Amino acid sequence: MQAFWFAHGCGAGARGAGFGRADRRMSAQTLAGLGVGARGKIIGFSLTPELKQRLMELGLTKGTECRVLRFAPLGDPVEILVREYHLSLRISEAKGILVQELV
């Protein structure tokens, strides 16, 4: 249910906690939607259980910060920096990772 709220831009503010605070008004987006150099904090997943488990084993867990390093010339894959190592993901995988962009 939480993924639904964040995916629709409601965040915690719509449920009452911290309503009106600037950091709560930012809506979630997917990792694939971040630009090169952008940082984000993982807040959820919209993936199959098997794929979610594999990515969590690679260190992509809720609360983990990551940074988009580059996209391949045709857009797939995307390279990110997470937990001090470089990881390449398919765009289809990156679209299933919900992040909150960090400024």
Closest CA to 93 of 82, 81, 77: 77
Q: Within 13 Å and on the Cβ side, how many CA atoms surround 90?
A: 6
19-51 per-position pLDDT tens digit? 444 444 456 899 999 999 999 999 999 999 999
Question: 40, 100 in Cβ contact below 8 A?
Answer: yes
Residue with the larger pLDDT of the pair 68 and 9: 68
So what CATH class is 28-102?
A: mainly beta
Q: What is the pTM of this model?
A: 0.71
pLDDT of residue 27: 67
In the chain, the N- to C-terminal Cα span, in Å, equals: 26
Question: 13, 24 in Cβ contact below 8 A?
Answer: yes
Q: Please report which residue ranges of 8-60 form alpha helices under DSSP H.
A: 49-57
